[in-house]
Chains A and B, each alone.
Chain A
């Protein structure tokens, strides 16, 4: 196999592997693989940001 392609594929695999590994713990923490009965995941929304967007919306309605 071409050496350039092998190096490129290796770098892509390392970075993608890191990303996959990086995203597994949040699923475990959210209980998706264990105690959750229902499928699907929920994200915890920052309350301050939610308020920020609500205010934006209110300003637009005025």
Chain B
């Protein structure tokens, strides 16, 4: 009876969360029409959270399961989701509604991905995975989010001794960009990395590589979807099948047949693709929702005659933390880490730490009040959406972190924070969204992230074995 009561209470809480978000949307819209822009972020965030929790959509689990125990289920699910999002994104791009802009890509994307990949394995959750796990009541995930947020914010504004590590060519190049005087581009490691190094790299999509425009049917579907998503994803899955899944399939197949021909492996490959139904369904809905969010945000921008939410916040009378260009972070699609840096940046600014003189906050993203930050509305709703699903399915439980897990969470979050800023995004912003939209840099980040995850798993195995050996010696003694 007690268990049933608990489950019923959780269901009421789930409905309460949905009701709360509905109330926020209705009341804010009634107060001022412009709030519908923030509500758009909120409702898509809620959908993302529900999908992530339903599909257990976590990049860290995906590569940890693959490298540590040879289970490809989640990797397959992520690739399926990427393809579905790519398909919807291609429709949106070809129609001219896309809010996506490719980012400068180069070797830095691989290195950033690698740092991020190590971090997500150590932390036990990627940037998006930590958000949905926080919605399940996981205290370790909350620590990971805190660590990513604080690290990014500090990294964005730290100069001093870090300036000594900046190559002279980056410094000269950053100064030559002639940024507004309030932005001190010659001070701060990240500022000089961005303006003096990253911005000098080209932004390339697969459509551009074959001489097509993104906003054409051929460019969006042939260039960005087929060449940019489908072929690399199939190559990756083929490698995964032959290294990890083939052995199991062969063993089962030989129980019924005498030999395994190469064509039989097509059956095995198909079985592997079908093994992650839950993650694939989540991926399909995620993909459709991501595309629809781009459509809705672009429509609202036309309606209100704005290019960025900074203008909306100014009209709402809250121009604190708006960047020198009048902008705030407003990607128009799913993103995770930048808004996490922003709320810490805003808090530190309020406590007297100058954050508006760097490029990341002062020139591009701003540090608006988190209560009015569209991307923060998305992240809060994402956690809420995950909580709704976890509560509805009786999977919600507060879990306090142990000391050991807390250390791993902080260390992993630190590396993910650094990787995110170097790669201009996380597993969502720098990989999932970019790959789906045909950005070459997305795969570069992905290659690094997979390599980093492999290193992370090997390190973890070594650490665990060493610890177990010590404990074993202690027991013998």
Interface residues of A (CB under 8 A from B): 2, 4-5, 7-8, 11-12, 15-16, 19-20, 22-27, 29-30, 32, 38-46, 49, 52-53, 56-57, 60-62
Shortest CB distance A52–B (Å)? 7
Interface residues in B383-419 by Cβ distance below 8 A to A read 388-389, 391-393
- In the docked arrangement, what's the CA distance between A32 and B95, Å? 9
Residues of B within 8 A of A40 (CB): 96, 215
Segment from B35-43, B123-131, B343-351 that makes contact with A: B35-43
Instruction: Report the 9 A-B pairs with minimum CB-CB distance, sorted nearest first.
Output: A23-B299, A39-B96, A60-B180, A53-B326, A44-B305, A26-B303, A26-B302, A39-B215, A40-B96
Q: Are B43 and A5 in contact (CB under 8 A)?
A: no
Give chain B residues whose Cβ lies under 8 Å from the Cβ of A56. Answer: 324, 326
State whether the Cβ of B250 lies closer than 8 Å to any Cβ in chain A: no
B231 at the interface (CB under 8 A from A): no
Partner of B216 from the list A11, A22, A39, A43 (CB cut-off 8 Å) is: A39
B14 at the interface (CB under 8 A from A): yes
Residue of B296, B301, B391 near A20 (CB, 8 A) is B296
B145 at the interface (CB under 8 A from A): no
B181 at the A/B interface (Cβ < 8 Å)? Answer: yes
**CB-CB under 8 A for A23 and B311, given A4-B14, A39-B216, A53-B325:** no
Minimum distance in angstroms from B7 CB to a CB of chain A: 10
Whether B97 contacts A45 by the Cβ 8 Å rule is: no
Do A8 and B96 touch (CB < 8 A)?
no
Counting residue pairs across A and B whose Cβ atoms lie within 8 Å, the total is: 120
B182 at the interface (CB under 8 A from A): yes
Q: Which of B292, B296, B298, B326 contacts A52 (CB 8 A)?
A: B326
Q: Which residues of A contact B311 (CB under 8 A)?
A: 45-46, 49
Inside 8 A of B292's CB, which chain A residues have their CB? 16, 20
Return A22 CB to nearest CB of chain B, in Å. Answer: 7
**Chain A positions within 8 Å of B14 at CB level:** 4, 8
Contacts of A22 in B (CB 8 A): 36, 296, 299-300, 303
Contacts from B to A (Cβ < 8 Å)? 11, 14-15, 18-19, 22, 25, 36, 39-40, 43-44, 46-47, 50, 94-97, 180-183, 215-216, 292, 295-307, 311, 314-315, 324-326, 388-389, 391-393
Sample of 9 A–B contacts (CB below 8 Å): A2-B393, A8-B15, A8-B50, A19-B40, A39-B216, A43-B304, A49-B314, A60-B183, A61-B181
CA of A27 to CA of B307 in the docked complex: distance in angstroms? 15
- Closest CB in chain B relative to A48 CB, distance in Å: 10
Find out whether the CB atom of A25 lies under 8 angstroms from the CB atom of B25.
no
Residues of B within 8 A of A46 (CB): 305-306, 311
Contact A16 B47 (CB under 8 A): yes
User: Are B392's CB and A27's CB within 8 A?
Assistant: no
Q: Is the CB of B299 within 8 A of A27?
A: yes
Other than the given A8-B15, A30-B302, A57-B325, 9 more pairs (CB < 8 A) read: A4-B11, A11-B22, A23-B295, A26-B299, A27-B299, A39-B215, A41-B298, A42-B302, A53-B326
A60, B182: Cβ atoms closer than 8 Å: yes
- A25–B96 CA distance with the chains assembled, in angstroms: 16
Whether A43 touches B307, Cβ cut-off 8 Å, given contacts A7-B15, A60-B182, is yes
Contact B94 A39 (CB under 8 A): yes
Q: How far is the CA of A39 from the CA of B296 in the complex (A)?
A: 17
Q: Which residues of A contact B43 (CB under 8 A)?
A: 12, 15-16, 19
